[in-house]
Amino acid sequence: MIKVGIIGGTGYTGVELLRLLVGHPQTKLSVITSRGEAGRKVADLFPNLRGHVDLVFSEPDTKTLAACDVVFSATPNGVAMTQARELVAAGTRLIDLAADFRLRDPAVWEKWYGMPHACPELLAEAVYGLPEVNRDKIRKARIVANPGCYPTAVQLGFLPLLEQGLVDAAHLIADAKSGVSGAGRKAEVHTLFAEASDNFKAYAVAGHRHWPEIKQGLETATGKPVGLTFVPHLTPMIRGIHATLYARLAKTDMDLQALYEKRYANESFVDVLPAGSHPDTRSVRASNVCRIAVHRPQGGDTVVVLSVIDNLVKGAAGQAVQNMNIMFGLDERTGLAAPPVLP
Amino acid sequence: MIKVGIIGGTGYTGVELLRLLVGHPQTKLSVITSRGEAGRKVADLFPNLRGHVDLVFSEPDTKTLAACDVVFSATPNGVAMTQARELVAAGTRLIDLAADFRLRDPAVWEKWYGMPHACPELLAEAVYGLPEVNRDKIRKARIVANPGCYPTAVQLGFLPLLEQGLVDAAHLIADAKSGVSGAGRKAEVHTLFAEASDNFKAYAVAGHRHWPEIKQGLETATGKPVGLTFVPHLTPMIRGIHATLYARLAKTDMDLQALYEKRYANESFVDVLPAGSHPDTRSVRASNVCRIAVHRPQGGDTVVVLSVIDNLVKGAAGQAVQNMNIMFGLDERTGLAAPPVLP
Amino acid sequence: MIKVGIIGGTGYTGVELLRLLVGHPQTKLSVITSRGEAGRKVADLFPNLRGHVDLVFSEPDTKTLAACDVVFSATPNGVAMTQARELVAAGTRLIDLAADFRLRDPAVWEKWYGMPHACPELLAEAVYGLPEVNRDKIRKARIVANPGCYPTAVQLGFLPLLEQGLVDAAHLIADAKSGVSGAGRKAEVHTLFAEASDNFKAYAVAGHRHWPEIKQGLETATGKPVGLTFVPHLTPMIRGIHATLYARLAKTDMDLQALYEKRYANESFVDVLPAGSHPDTRSVRASNVCRIAVHRPQGGDTVVVLSVIDNLVKGAAGQAVQNMNIMFGLDERTGLAAPPVLP
Amino acid sequence: MIKVGIIGGTGYTGVELLRLLVGHPQTKLSVITSRGEAGRKVADLFPNLRGHVDLVFSEPDTKTLAACDVVFSATPNGVAMTQARELVAAGTRLIDLAADFRLRDPAVWEKWYGMPHACPELLAEAVYGLPEVNRDKIRKARIVANPGCYPTAVQLGFLPLLEQGLVDAAHLIADAKSGVSGAGRKAEVHTLFAEASDNFKAYAVAGHRHWPEIKQGLETATGKPVGLTFVPHLTPMIRGIHATLYARLAKTDMDLQALYEKRYANESFVDVLPAGSHPDTRSVRASNVCRIAVHRPQGGDTVVVLSVIDNLVKGAAGQAVQNMNIMFGLDERTGLAAPPVLP
């Protein structure tokens, strides 16, 4: 049994991680910390876990955490990097669900997250945890940077095109729509039900922290600079991301459907839909699957890719569990096999 | 392995049953019929089942069904009773998710469902599948009448009071609120998103088919006639029932909290919350749990019980699987252990 | 033109009041104060008012307010009572949309709102602003206590029965459901979209501040003590209250439909629906109407009344404008004539 | 007073038209027809109109309609064109809210709508009713083709760029999101609450009927062929369209903000937001306003325009009333002045 610790875990990513670990046959949840909720029963905060999780939130304590085989950090950005050295030194492997280890260049991290990086040397060895790209590196990684939700949906949608150099990489467009849980379990006015319900809006058009992360991933895939216009939107649903991706094809005689099917043929969690399909976000609700459809409207030179995930699962906690499975040599699907919940 | 057949199964109850059976380690889904969708892949209709269910809907055929150990009937009311004789004669056990076998008196059935009963002799032996009441009878039943969604929430909420004769049974009030999936997967104007969203209304105040079913169950529990005012409401959520129950206490010196905790102490799927609680419907989303809280506001003589279920799980498909587990001697929780999905 | 001032006005009640006053032909909005937003354009906070309201929020200043003919106070509870003396002394009439002047007994106020009353002598002269009950007193009032949202829906539903003494007043039940805007524009976790959407729950069963307000109104109507069980619920919609009311009839040979139609025959904003109806909350969305239906299920001795309002209009800002119209001798419907918005 | 008739009017466009006409001081609603609902009171079908509309739906009868000054046709596509000749011959002016007169080329109409055009000679004289483009022609038109909802939002967003030839017109992208009321008041499974709620999806990527309409409008504006990729999406809200538009700038030294502000300076119903804004769909709910923001992310060569409307108002009934106002020489804002409803 893998001994698991969780840092943070009072947000939506945390409760989802707990839900998935409850059903995971090879893990034992050993400790969960929270400065704000220390002493409170986990199941009091998250009533869905009554009868499933008996743990009490405890004060953060690196020694206890370092006794675990793996620690998931589900805290706000900037926390995991202050604890990483100690954990790694103790032989504990770290999966960070925040952004601390996602951007390879510490200067870029500092620019977008507004603080210097606390352990650049670990940043250098951290592995970006997108299994469909880095599976082999993840296996041996001491630190895995779990990808952001938008970056997961957008990269999985664009990768086959960019890896083959089939599109004008200088002018990619990602129009992405997220459910409101993506904003986290924070008391804020703009995500109140009475504000966000029966409403739709774009935000952060001038610049979103997931932009450099996506750009980095796409540039790695294609091997040259990428120009990306990324527009995130808030849509009145709890879970789900729908990325609608646009690119100009260098040539139009490719069988794009075959390209996508081949690229993801051996991936358990990427489902390429039949030609002509339109994936629903609900078709992946509460599951670790990414469903993709590829279109070339009116036979023109613009390719349209539709990519959907559950932002809390493949976009966060599920992908983290998938990474853990890889790191510990388990079948990648362990604990992640339940079908999506629909309706 | 239990060989399972499903009649119907193109509605929400059907897709939920399939989702649960996919995760059930002791069953093998052998056939699923649908007159309207025969020849279509199940996963085409319900994209959440892609990669989980390979079956194709087939034309109803009693011989194939009769080769199963158990058949779930997830059809509209009035269909199961026409097939029950043949199935039972073949030794197949039947769990009917519709209403055909719920009302013991064929005359009452005819009055509320508008057609004569097709097999009154089987009606007489059918067992009402509320495990918290009829567990022993369910074990040996050839036909189980799976309870309705409102009846499950209301009966579990009222039972402790009625079994002990603690309230004025002549004036019970059940104010119940259901998510829209309760209306089924039927093309109708009043359940369109643009009609049912951002709206709340009562319906069928003059009389709802679940009224005689609840009344029958409560009368059985208390051993005398029951007067019940039942008002169902439609609330803009997909899943969930919240029943708010009111009764006049015969005496006010009872420890109601202890009464409820004791009554359900050995029940895996009934969770009595701590005193002062208010259960959320989302705390049971996608799970087979009923959560109950009991209140006596201002210390008066009116007891208020709050009872929540997921209408598609404990109110339909989950309870059906629970009944199957009992009928085949399995642990009642088999295939039903996943925590609720929140948020 | 009536010169109007608004204290507070950064919440949902405030923006709704502004929306209604924009369309009111006899008022001129002169000042709107907010400590937190002073200096900010109103239309920056509420983009629906762009092009309609040019005012800037200003620091609270009693002198400026006292130059108005009428001041609406749309602040949290406990603020209006500290400013009432000065305003009234200056000849300005005050309509308080909070609770400061709703409860006649200062001791009851202190118990439920947790602070002593700042001006009990004005409390004694304040008029409870339910026009359907107190129209004549409102005309001359210096201070009008605008009723709460639940109290408006519940009282209008129960009044005809209680005024005629037709029901057992000692055992009334009000099961009420509110949209989330009723919780106000405050940053809190439990009203986030990801918490309140696709969910239904009761709250404050042990005691809600609207309970003594409703009780007081019903006791005035019937002339004797009232026993009331009041259970509020949160339902995933933005606007709307649906009150489902239950009472035991003293005798069952009354024509309840005629009773209700007669009681409200001359009321512009109470619409008694035809027998057998079920009002939708959306049928009153954005309007000042209360729609009511009365039922006696199965011809029994329990009467069921369904009463719906828009909590922000008839339950707050609209009723405040209605009160102002009465106070200034205008047609009661002035500025309130637009039809509800559906869908 | 303008004597008004409505053909059809049992859908969402119809009820919205009625709501707006109720508040219009210069019109008298004289007749409303419906084959399916003839004999039924309008207010029975649409309870928000109780007390506002006394009319009864009548059988379609061209003579009665021809006695009106103006007739709005709010029927399915293909109906208005069969009645247009007779109405126009009688001197009645026609505003068609369906698509019959939107596409100038009858062959294109036949291709996308699957039937030959019934009166090509009238098609030639019909005016496309986008006031911001065709105001002068609308004034004298006998037949106005009221634009589609997507086309209104997309054209208003793109026009300033295309009229000035500032972008690569061969590669425009319109990623549009619509509330579910856009699908109409038709009983269909995919727009049920339990299907469309908590879900997001694209549809009709291969080709949507609004594509040729938008293309035609943009080509007229820019005077050359346009290449347009148009992807519509369904989002879980009742009303609202959010169009996110992308184009490549020919040169990047333009002041785009000034361009948009100047283009719409004299338009009552187009509101260009301050630089850096993100319009909410709810900020135009129930109103005839289109709000637009223009962005150039990271100072690159891709312009992003955000354009929101209420699909039932500026996208249908409100624009129809605006057109009527122009046709009859009234102030364009008559009956359309009420502020949006928020929250």
Give the ipTM of the model, two decimals please: 0.97
The pLDDT value recorded for residue A114 is 96
- D172: nearest CA in chain A? A302
C-chain residues near B298 (CB < 8 A): 206-207
Residue with tokens 């209360």: C290
Q: Identify the CA nearest to D260 among candidates D250, D275, D249.
A: D275
Instruction: Examine the pLDDT at A305 and tell me if it is beyond 90.
Output: yes
The pLDDT value recorded for residue A253 is 87
- Judge whether A89 and A63 are in contact, CB under 8 Å: no
CATH fold of the domain at C150-310: Dihydrodipicolinate Reductase; domain 2 (3.30.360)
The pLDDT value recorded for residue C270 is 98
Partner B contacted by D46 (CB < 8 A): no
The pLDDT value recorded for residue A54 is 96
Helix (H, G, I), strand (E, B) or coil at D104: coil
Averaged confidence pLDDT in chain C: 97
Crossing angle for the helix pair D149-163 and D131-140, to the nearest 10 degrees: 110
Q: Is the peptide bond before C343 cis (omega within 30 degrees of 0)?
A: yes
Task: Give residue A206's pLDDT band: very low, low, confident or very high (50, 70, 90).
Answer: very high
**Cα D292 vs. chain centroid, distance in angstroms?**
16
HSE-up of B98 (CA within 13 Å, CB side)?
23
Task: Give residue C66's pLDDT band: very low, low, confident or very high (50, 70, 90).
Answer: very high
CB contact under 8 A, A52 and B287: no
Q: Residue B242 forms beta bridges with which residues?
A: B177, B308
The pLDDT value recorded for residue D187 is 96
- C227: nearest CA in chain B? B300
Mean pLDDT value of segment C35-39: 94
Separation in Å, CA of C188 to nearest CA in chain A: 5
Query: What Cα–Cα distance (Å) separates residue D126 from each residue in D7, D107, D129, D137?
Result: 18, 16, 9, 9
State pLDDT tens for residues B149-193. 999 999 999 999 999 999 999 999 999 999 999 999 999 999 999
In degrees and rounded to multiples of 5, residue B168 shows phi and psi of: -70, 95
Integer Cα distance of C172 and C224 in angstroms:
13
Instruction: Examine the pLDDT at A251 and tell me if it is beyond 90.
Output: no
* Partner residue facing A192 (CB), from C193, C198, C237: C193
**What is the DSSP pairing of strand B302-309 with strand B270-272?**
unpaired
The residue type found at B47 is: P
D-chain residues near C48 (CB < 8 A): 282-285, 287, 339-342
* Partner residue facing C246 (CB), from B173, B240, B304: B173
Mean pLDDT value of segment A202-220: 98
Query: What Cα–Cα distance (Å) separates residue D232 from each residue in A83, D151, D182, D204, D335?
Result: 45, 11, 11, 7, 30
- Judge whether B53 and B30 are in contact, CB under 8 Å: no
Q: Which two tokens stand for residue D182?
A: 């856009």
Q: Which two tokens stand for residue C339?
A: 């039809």
The pLDDT value recorded for residue C244 is 98
- Judge whether B235 and B179 are in contact, CB under 8 Å: yes
In chain D, the largest separation of any two C-alpha atoms, in whole Å, equals 62
Separation in Å, CA of C57 to nearest CA in chain D: 19
State pLDDT tens for residues C139-170. 999 999 999 999 999 999 999 999 999 999 99
The pLDDT value recorded for residue C252 is 82
Helix (H, G, I), strand (E, B) or coil at B327: helix
The pLDDT value recorded for residue B238 is 98
- Judge whether A179 and A241 are in contact, CB under 8 Å: yes
CB contact under 8 A, D238 and B197: yes
CB contact under 8 A, C278 and B201: yes
Integer Cα distance of B63 and B266 in angstroms:
40
Integer Cα distance of A76 and B123 in angstroms:
59
Partner D contacted by C200 (CB < 8 A): no
Each domain of chain A, given as residue ranges in start order, spans 2-125, 149-311
Instruction: Examine the pLDDT at C214 and tell me if it is beyond 90.
Output: yes
CATH code for the domain defined by D149-311: 3.30.360.10
CB contact under 8 A, C173 and B227: no
State pLDDT tens for residues A103-127. 999 999 999 999 999 999 999 999 9
DSSP letters for C81-143: HHHHHHHHHTT-EEEE-SSTTT-S-HHHHHHHHSS--S-HHHHHH-EE--HHHHHHHHHH-SE
State pLDDT tens for residues C258-285. 999 999 999 999 999 999 999 999 999 9
Integer Cα distance of D184 and D203 in angstroms:
15
Q: Residue B228 forms beta bridges with which residues?
A: B172
Instruction: Examine the pLDDT at D251 and tell me if it is beyond 90.
Output: no
Q: For chain A, which chains pass the contact test of at least 3 CB pairs under 8 Å?
A: B, C, D
A-chain residues near D298 (CB < 8 A): 206-207
Provide the residue count of chain C.
343
Separation in Å, CA of B274 to nearest CA in chain C: 14
Q: Give Cβ neighbours of residue D86 (< 8 Å, ≥ 6 apart).
A: D62, D66
Q: What angle do CA A293, A296, A298 make, to 5 degrees?
A: 135
Task: Give residue D147's pLDDT band: very low, low, confident or very high (50, 70, 90).
Answer: very high
In degrees and rounded to multiples of 5, residue C228 shows phi and psi of: -130, 125
Integer Cα distance of C305 and C324 in angstroms:
29
The pLDDT value recorded for residue A83 is 94
Partner A contacted by C48 (CB < 8 A): no
Provide the residue count of chain B.
343
- D178: nearest CA in chain B? B194
Partner D contacted by A199 (CB < 8 A): yes
Among residues 148-187 of chain C, which lie with CB inside 8 Å of chain A?
Answer: 179-181, 183, 185-187
State pLDDT tens for residues D153-177. 999 999 999 999 999 999 999 999 9
Residue with tokens 């005309």: C139
How many CB pairs below 8 Å do chains A and B form together? 85
D-chain residues near A297 (CB < 8 A): 205-207, 229-231
B-chain residues near A23 (CB < 8 A): 337-339
- Judge whether C57 and C42 are in contact, CB under 8 Å: yes
% of chain D exceeding 70 in pLDDT:
100
Among residues 210-269 of chain D, which lie with CB inside 8 Å of chain A?
Answer: 227, 229-231, 233, 235-240, 242, 244, 246, 248
The pLDDT value recorded for residue B251 is 85
C178 Ramachandran zone, left/alpha/beta (phi>0; psi -120 to 50): beta
Among residues 314-333 of chain C, which lie with CB inside 8 Å of chain B?
Answer: none
* Partner residue facing C48 (CB), from D15, D19, D342: D342
Provide the H-helix boundaries in C173-317: 193-196, 210-222, 256-263
Averaged confidence pLDDT in chain B: 97
- Judge whether D201 and D145 are in contact, CB under 8 Å: no
- Judge whether B174 and B64 are in contact, CB under 8 Å: no
Instruction: Examine the pLDDT at B2 and tell me if it is beyond 90.
Output: yes
Task: Give residue B252's pLDDT band: very low, low, confident or very high (50, 70, 90).
Answer: confident
- Judge whether B236 and C235 are in contact, CB under 8 Å: yes
The pLDDT value recorded for residue B75 is 94
B-chain residues near D36 (CB < 8 A): none
Instruction: Examine the pLDDT at C251 and tell me if it is beyond 90.
Output: no
- Judge whether A49 and A22 are in contact, CB under 8 Å: yes
The pLDDT value recorded for residue D252 is 82
Burial degree of C227 (CB within 10 A; 0-12, 13-18, 19+): middle
The reply to whether B149 belongs to the active site is yes
Q: Identify the CA nearest to D342 among candidates D292, D282, D291, D270.
A: D282
Integer Cα distance of A112 and B106 in angstroms:
71
Partner B contacted by A48 (CB < 8 A): yes
B205, B238, B256, B303: best mutation site toward chain C, by most C Cβ within 10 Å?
Answer: B205
CB contact under 8 A, D194 and B187: no
Burial D75-112 (b: 16+ CB within 10 A, else e): bebbbbbebbeebbeeebbbbbbbbbbbbbebebbeeb
How many C-beta atoms surround the C-beta of residue D278 within 10 A? 20
- C238: nearest CA in chain A? A194
B-chain residues near C173 (CB < 8 A): 173, 246, 302
* Partner residue facing C19 (CB), from D181, D197, D339: D339
Mean pLDDT value of segment D109-125: 96
Integer Cα distance of B139 and B327 in angstroms:
4
Q: Which two tokens stand for residue C21?
A: 């006053």
* Partner residue facing D175 (CB), from A175, A282, A298: A175
The pLDDT value recorded for residue D113 is 97
* Partner residue facing A203 (CB), from D175, D278, D300: D278
Separation in Å, CA of D319 to nearest CA in chain B: 21
Integer Cα distance of B166 and B162 in angstroms:
6
CB contact under 8 A, B193 and D238: yes
Architecture of domain A2-125: 3-Layer(aba) Sandwich (3.40)
Burial degree of C77 (CB within 10 A; 0-12, 13-18, 19+): middle
Partner B contacted by A199 (CB < 8 A): no
How many CB pairs below 8 Å do chains C and D form together? 85
CB contact under 8 A, D339 and C279: no
Helix (H, G, I), strand (E, B) or coil at B280: coil
- Judge whether C155 and C147 are in contact, CB under 8 Å: yes
- C338: nearest CA in chain D? D23
In degrees and rounded to multiples of 5, residue B287 shows phi and psi of: -130, 170
How many C-beta atoms surround the C-beta of residue A37 within 10 A? 18
Asked: is B150-311 a CATH 2.40.110.10 domain? The reply is no
